[in-house]
């Protein structure tokens, strides 16, 4: 592989694979291990390799895939990138997530250009070399460790090229620079009260059949594994006895780093990879978990959306609300409400017991009218409100209809013929990263250019947004095609809508608030992508604080 000739980095690689079944928590395990190694003073990077053929998750249905996570540079990635950023407190980019589709697309483009000089293009070596190049691309800045999570389950046909690539890398880089960790399930059979190791044995057998012998086995289980069970797994799976660890279920996902530390996995990794033997400083993680386990009160937040059947669709949002609770020493109870089911007769029934209302982002017209009803309730009943992306746009539509009395006001996304398009498809805007105007093809409603990634926003002083951030300029991540139609801004401001955040040139409206309301904020961007447990996002922190005040007021009446 040509790239290995020029690869001068001394980075060591940890590959995390999964067996038995999906959703065992490889992403959390990878992120938690990264947090432990970083707490040891090591420089850590991390990457997700997904076997599905989509080029990226951007066009995938949230019900199938869950949330699409957006990075600073505008990459649409797997939701595990959110775990990585939250646990490591670092920003990642498009090189931290590759799919089979992206790998194959790159190889096909090279073949079309003639890069392979007319040779037959094959899975080995061409696809596997492209995968290895993607893996090495994350380790160009002298990182001590790169953690690479392989999506899917060992045995899946689409994942074989990735497994073959990481098998080759151990030979390419040397045994002292590559470590394999395999996450499996040890189920508890409740009828007999027995833990069963056979699924783990079969999973490791499958992995070994393609040439990969795991160095560490991480066993997901409801209970702690006994020494006898660990010894049995070590014997049948050909690993050291002290290389079998329990990944026990925990109440809060932020307990995982501490739980893995108690098992000693970071110490074993340090020994096997000959990493500096420095004890991790976990004081901040311990303080965080203490706050989660000992809240001083609670608030209930109603999340009014259309993907509520799959909570993974709002993963970052869920976590950002928890972070807001941590900042206020509160437990945040979440009430997911299907916006398709809300109507004028029962909106109060759905929302009367919540202390704050949040309308998240999304695409398409389904469930929009229910969101608008929930927003009207929040505005008129003085309930704390946070609208994100589509939630902000729905707030603008609601204000136009019920305060400006533009009864047919709408977004062009939902009604292209609306006489009052208060939200419209902008055809051109200035991109502060490229320093050029971006143009949108209005003939292509689907798959067209979106405003993606981090953009600057200037805040108006004396606004709730400014009080939250305590600075005049911020950078936040976007993922949308439609914008507030500035043509209606003056009339809305006269009627009591506060435009508290705009792009530096004033052309794009980023944040709106409602005058004479305790806390009503709609933002065009996605603040949840920049929240982490150690540094809760200012908007979520203040939203939860306002919900606390609202609850106290309700109880006093």
Tell me how many degrees the CA angle 394-397-399 measures, rounded to the nearest 5. Answer: 110
The encoded tokens of residue 51 equal 């076997």
CA–CA separation, 305 vs 529, rounded Å?
A: 18
- Give the Cβ contact number of residue 93 at 10 Å: 15
Catalytic residue among 164, 237, 528, 537: 528
φ/ψ region of 470 (left if φ > 0, alpha if ψ in -120 to 50, else beta) reads left
Q: Find the helix or strand (DSSP H, E) in which 69 lies.
A: strand 69-70
Which residues, other chains included, contact 88 with Cβ-Cβ below 8 Å and sequence gap of 6+? Answer: 31, 34, 35, 38, 44, 46
| Residue 189: strand, helix, or coil | strand
Nearest to 293 by CA among 344, 251, 354, 239: 251
Distance CA 284, CA 158 (A): 40
Q: Is 237 a known active-site residue?
A: no
Catalytic residue of the set 126, 478, 480, 526: 526
Using CA atoms, how far residue 20 sits from 16, 190, 203, 208, in Å, is 14, 19, 6, 14
Burial class (CB in 10 A: 0-12, 13-18, 19+), 346: exposed
| Under 8 Å between Cβ of 239 and 15 | no
By three-state DSSP, how is residue 520 classified?
strand
**Dist CA 557 CA 545 (whole Å):** 19
Residues in the chain, how many? 557
Integer Cα distance of 317 and 364 in angstroms: 19
For 348-391, give the DSSP string. Answer: HHHHTT-SEEEE----SSTTHHHHHHHHHHHHHTT--EEEETHH
Residues 247, 29 contacting (CB under 8 angstroms)? yes
Q: Which of 157, 35, 47 is nearest to 95 (CA)?
A: 47
Q: Kindly report the backbone phi and psi dihedral angles of residue 445, in degrees, each rounded to the nearest multiple of 5, phi listed first.
A: -70, -30
From 389, 394, 457, 523, the catalytic residue: 389
526 is catalytic: yes
224-233 as b/e: b if 16+ CB within 10 A: ebeeebbebb
Tell me how far the alpha carbon of residue 122 is from its chain's centroid: 34
Cα dihedral 16, 17, 20, 22 sign = positive
* CA pair distance 231, 252, nearest whole angstrom: 29
318 is catalytic: no
Among the listed residues 172, 233, 250, the one whose alpha carbon sits nearest the alpha carbon of residue 15: 172
Neighbours of 112 (CB within 10 A): 9
Contact of 68 with 57, CB cutoff 8 Å? yes
Among residues 115, 53, 62, the alpha carbon closest in space to that of 317 is found at 62
Q: Which residues carry out catalysis?
A: 389, 526, 528
């Amino acid at each position: 592989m040509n790239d290995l000739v020029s690869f001068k980095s001394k980075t060591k690689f940890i590959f995390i694979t999964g067996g038995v079944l999906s959703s065992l928590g490889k992403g959390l395990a990878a992120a938690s291990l990264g947090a432990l190694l970083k707490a040891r003073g090591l420089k850590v990077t991390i990457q997700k390799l997904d076997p599905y053929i989509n080029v990226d998750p951007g066009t995938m249905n949230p019900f199938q895939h869950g949330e699409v996570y957006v990075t600073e540079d505008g990459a649409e990635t797997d939701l595990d990138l959110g775990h990585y950023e939250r646990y490591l407190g670092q920003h990642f980019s498009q090189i931290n997530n590759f799919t089979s589709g992206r790998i194959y697309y790159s190889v096909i483009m090279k073949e079309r250009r003639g890069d392979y000089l007319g040779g037959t293009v094959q899975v080995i070596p061409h696809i596997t070399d492209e995968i290895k190049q993607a893996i090495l691309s994350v380790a160009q800045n002298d990182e001590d460790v790169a953690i690479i999570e392989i999506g899917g389950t060992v045995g899946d046909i689409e994942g074989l090229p990735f497994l073959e690539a990481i098998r080759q890398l151990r030979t390419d880089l040397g045994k002292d620079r590559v470590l394999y960790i395999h996450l499996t399930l040890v189920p508890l059979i409740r009828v007999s009260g027995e833990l069963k190791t056979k699924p783990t044995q079969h999973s490791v057998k499958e992995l070994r059949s393609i040439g990969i012998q795991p160095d560490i086995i991480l066993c997901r289980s409801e209970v702690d594994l006994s020494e006898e069970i660990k010894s049995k797994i070590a014997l049948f799976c050909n690993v050291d006895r002290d290389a079998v660890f329990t990944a026990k279920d925990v109440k809060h996902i932020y307990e995982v780093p501490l739980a893995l530390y108690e098992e000693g996995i970071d110490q074993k990794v340090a020994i096997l990879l000959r990493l500096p033997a420095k004890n991790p400083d976990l004081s901040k993680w311990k303080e965080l978990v203490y706050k989660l386990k000992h809240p001083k009160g609670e608030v209930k937040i109603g999340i009014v959306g259309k993907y509520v059947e799959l909570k993974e669709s709002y993963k970052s949002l869920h976590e950002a609300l928890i972070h807001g609770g941590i900042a206020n020493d509160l437990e945040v109870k979440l009430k997911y409400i299907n916006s398709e089911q809300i109507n004028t007769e029962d909106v109060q029934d759905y929302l009367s017991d919540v202390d704050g209302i949040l309308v998240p982002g999304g695409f398409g017209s389904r469930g929009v009218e229910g969101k608008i009803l929930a927003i009207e309730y929040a505005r008129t009943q003085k309930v704390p409100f946070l609208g994100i992306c589509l939630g902000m746009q729905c707030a603008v539509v609601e204000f136009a209809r019920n305060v400006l009395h533009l009864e047919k006001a709408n977004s062009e996304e939902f009604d292209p013929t609306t006489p009052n398009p208060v939200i419209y498809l902008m055809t051109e805007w200035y991109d502060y990263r490229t320093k050029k105007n971006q143009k949108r093809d209005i003939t292509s409603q689907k798959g067209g250019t979106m405003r993606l990634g981090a953009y600057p926003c200037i805040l108006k002083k004396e606004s709730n947004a400014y009080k939250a951030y305590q600075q005049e300029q911020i950078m936040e991540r976007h993922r949308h095609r439609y914008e507030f139609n500035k043509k209606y801004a003056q009339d809305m401001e006269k009627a009591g809508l506060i435009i508290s955040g705009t792009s530096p040139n004033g052309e794009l409206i980023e944040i709106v608030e409602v005058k004479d309301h305790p806390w009503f904020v709609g933002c065009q961007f996605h603040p949840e992508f920049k929240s982490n447990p150690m540094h809760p996002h200012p908007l979520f922190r203040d939203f939860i604080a306002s919900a606390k005040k609202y609850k106290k007021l309700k109880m006093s009446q």
